[in-house]
Protein backbone atom coordinates (compact mmCIF):
# COMPACT_ATOMS: atom_id res chain seq x y z
CA UNK A 1 0.00 0.00 0.00
CA UNK A 2 1.45 3.35 -1.02
CA UNK A 3 1.25 6.57 0.94
CA UNK A 4 -0.58 9.49 -0.63
CA UNK A 5 1.60 12.09 -2.39
CA UNK A 6 2.11 15.37 -0.52
CA UNK A 7 -0.43 17.98 -1.57
CA UNK A 8 2.21 20.28 -3.12
CA UNK A 9 3.23 17.53 -5.55
CA UNK A 10 -0.37 16.58 -6.24
CA UNK A 11 -1.07 20.18 -7.39
CA UNK A 12 1.95 20.25 -9.73
CA UNK A 13 4.37 22.08 -7.39
CA UNK A 14 7.54 20.02 -7.53
CA UNK A 15 10.23 21.18 -5.09
CA UNK A 16 13.40 22.49 -6.70
CA UNK A 17 16.40 20.22 -6.12
CA UNK A 18 19.64 21.91 -5.10
CA UNK A 19 23.05 20.31 -5.77
CA UNK A 20 24.72 19.17 -2.55
CA UNK A 21 27.79 21.31 -3.21
CA UNK A 22 25.57 24.42 -2.98
CA UNK A 23 24.21 23.55 0.45
CA UNK A 24 25.66 25.27 3.52
CA UNK A 25 27.99 23.23 5.73
CA UNK A 26 26.23 21.70 8.70
CA UNK A 27 29.42 20.87 10.56
CA UNK A 28 32.44 23.07 10.96
CA UNK A 29 35.61 21.88 9.26
CA UNK A 30 37.85 19.74 11.43
CA UNK A 31 40.72 21.68 12.92
CA UNK A 32 44.03 20.64 11.44
CA UNK A 33 46.12 18.41 13.62
CA UNK A 34 49.35 19.97 14.74
CA UNK A 35 51.39 17.04 13.49
CA UNK A 36 54.69 17.46 11.72
CA UNK A 37 54.78 17.02 7.94
CA UNK A 38 57.49 14.41 8.38
CA UNK A 39 58.86 12.26 11.16
CA UNK A 40 61.54 13.85 13.34
CA UNK A 41 62.69 11.32 15.95
CA UNK A 42 65.90 9.35 15.68
CA UNK A 43 63.82 6.52 14.15
CA UNK A 44 62.23 8.74 11.47
CA UNK A 45 63.78 6.91 8.51
CA UNK A 46 62.36 3.55 9.63
CA UNK A 47 58.91 5.05 10.22
CA UNK A 48 58.98 6.70 6.79
CA UNK A 49 60.06 3.47 5.06
CA UNK A 50 57.19 1.60 6.78
CA UNK A 51 54.66 4.25 5.74
CA UNK A 52 56.02 4.33 2.18
CA UNK A 53 55.79 0.53 1.96
CA UNK A 54 52.15 0.50 3.06
CA UNK A 55 51.25 3.29 0.64
CA UNK A 56 53.09 1.51 -2.19
CA UNK A 57 50.91 -1.51 -1.50
CA UNK A 58 47.87 0.65 -2.29
CA UNK A 59 46.77 1.63 1.18
CA UNK A 60 45.97 5.26 1.95
CA UNK A 61 47.39 5.12 5.46
CA UNK A 62 46.34 8.72 6.24
CA UNK A 63 44.95 8.04 9.71
CA UNK A 64 47.68 5.53 10.38
CA UNK A 65 50.26 8.13 9.36
CA UNK A 66 48.84 10.48 12.00
CA UNK A 67 49.09 7.75 14.65
CA UNK A 68 52.68 7.00 13.67
CA UNK A 69 53.40 10.76 13.86
CA UNK A 70 52.05 10.75 17.41
CA UNK A 71 54.35 7.81 18.27
CA UNK A 72 57.28 9.58 16.58
CA UNK A 73 56.56 12.81 18.48
CA UNK A 74 56.47 10.87 21.76
CA UNK A 75 59.87 9.32 20.98
CA UNK A 76 61.29 12.70 20.01
CA UNK A 77 60.07 14.38 23.23
CA UNK A 78 60.88 11.64 25.73
CA UNK A 79 63.73 9.65 24.15
CA UNK A 80 65.68 11.97 21.85
CA UNK A 81 68.48 10.13 20.10
CA UNK A 82 67.13 6.67 21.03
CA UNK A 83 68.17 3.98 18.57
CA UNK A 84 66.63 0.95 20.28
CA UNK A 85 63.01 0.52 21.33
CA UNK A 86 62.42 -0.94 24.78
CA UNK A 87 59.27 -1.86 26.70
CA UNK A 88 59.44 1.33 28.78
CA UNK A 89 59.07 3.45 25.64
CA UNK A 90 56.08 1.57 24.29
CA UNK A 91 54.20 1.42 27.58
CA UNK A 92 54.99 5.08 28.29
CA UNK A 93 53.37 5.97 24.98
CA UNK A 94 50.31 3.84 25.74
CA UNK A 95 49.79 5.87 28.93
CA UNK A 96 49.14 8.88 26.69
CA UNK A 97 46.28 6.92 25.11
CA UNK A 98 44.43 6.30 28.38
CA UNK A 99 41.65 8.76 27.49
CA UNK A 100 40.67 6.68 24.44
CA UNK A 101 38.32 3.71 24.33
CA UNK A 102 39.88 0.25 24.73
CA UNK A 103 39.22 -0.61 21.08
CA UNK A 104 40.86 2.58 19.77
CA UNK A 105 43.83 2.08 22.10
CA UNK A 106 44.17 -1.51 20.89
CA UNK A 107 44.09 -0.45 17.23
CA UNK A 108 46.77 2.17 17.79
CA UNK A 109 48.94 -0.22 19.75
CA UNK A 110 48.60 -2.82 16.99
CA UNK A 111 49.68 -0.29 14.37
CA UNK A 112 52.81 0.61 16.33
CA UNK A 113 53.44 -3.10 16.99
CA UNK A 114 53.27 -3.71 13.23
CA UNK A 115 55.87 -0.98 12.74
CA UNK A 116 58.01 -2.54 15.50
CA UNK A 117 57.88 -5.89 13.68
CA UNK A 118 58.97 -4.12 10.50
CA UNK A 119 61.73 -2.26 12.36
CA UNK A 120 62.93 -5.44 14.09
CA UNK A 121 63.84 -7.02 10.75
CA UNK A 122 66.85 -4.71 10.55
CA UNK A 123 67.40 -4.00 14.25
CA UNK A 124 67.86 -7.02 16.48
CA UNK A 125 66.72 -6.60 20.07
CA UNK A 126 63.74 -4.39 19.23
CA UNK A 127 60.99 -4.76 21.81
CA UNK A 128 57.84 -6.39 20.39
CA UNK A 129 54.80 -6.04 22.68
CA UNK A 130 52.63 -9.09 23.30
CA UNK A 131 49.15 -8.76 21.80
CA UNK A 132 47.72 -10.29 24.98
CA UNK A 133 48.85 -7.19 26.91
CA UNK A 134 46.62 -4.93 24.78
CA UNK A 135 43.12 -3.91 25.88
CA UNK A 136 40.33 -6.27 24.88
CA UNK A 137 38.27 -4.90 21.98
CA UNK A 138 34.68 -3.97 22.73
CA UNK A 139 31.89 -5.20 20.51
CA UNK A 140 30.48 -2.62 18.10
CA UNK A 141 33.21 0.02 17.73
CA UNK A 142 34.72 0.04 14.22
CA UNK A 143 38.46 -0.54 14.04
CA UNK A 144 41.20 0.53 11.62
CA UNK A 145 41.30 -2.99 10.22
CA UNK A 146 44.91 -3.60 11.15
Using one digit for the tens of pLDDT, what is the confidence trace for 89-137?
Answer: 999 999 999 999 999 999 999 999 999 999 999 999 999 999 999 998 7
Determine the pLDDT at residue 32. 47
Integer angstrom CA distances of residue 62 from 28, 46, 65, 69: 21, 17, 5, 11
Separation between Cα atoms, residue 1 and residue 9, nearest integer Å: 19
- Whether residue 15 is contained in a domain is answered as no
- Whether residue 136 is contained in a domain is answered as no
Q: Judge whether residue 31 has pLDDT over 80.
A: no
Total domains in the chain come to: 1
- Tell which wins on pLDDT, 15 or 107: 107
- Whether residue 3 is contained in a domain is answered as no
Q: Judge whether residue 15 has pLDDT over 70.
A: no
- Tell which wins on pLDDT, 128 or 146: 128
- Whether residue 133 is contained in a domain is answered as no
Q: Classify residue 137 by burial, with Cβ atoms within 10 Å: 0-12, 13-18, 19+.
A: middle
Q: Is the dihedral of CA 105, 106, 108, 113 positive or negative?
A: positive
Helix (H, G, I), strand (E, B) or coil at 132: helix
Separation between Cα atoms, residue 90 and residue 75, nearest integer Å: 9
- Tell which wins on pLDDT, 43 or 27: 43
- Whether residue 96 is contained in a domain is answered as yes
Span 34-65, pLDDT tens digits = 545 689 999 999 999 999 999 999 888 889 99
Q: Which domain holds residue 84?
A: 40-124
Question: 41-63 as b/e, with b when 16 or more CB fall inside 10 Å?
Answer: bbbeebbeebbeebeeeeeebee
Separation between Cα atoms, residue 130 and residue 141, nearest integer Å: 22
pLDDT band of residue 5 (cuts 50, 70, 90) is: low
Amino acid sequence: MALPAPSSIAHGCVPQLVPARNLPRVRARRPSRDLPKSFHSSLASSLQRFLDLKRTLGRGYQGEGAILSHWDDFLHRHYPGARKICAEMFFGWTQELSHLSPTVRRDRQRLVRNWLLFHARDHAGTFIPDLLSFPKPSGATPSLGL
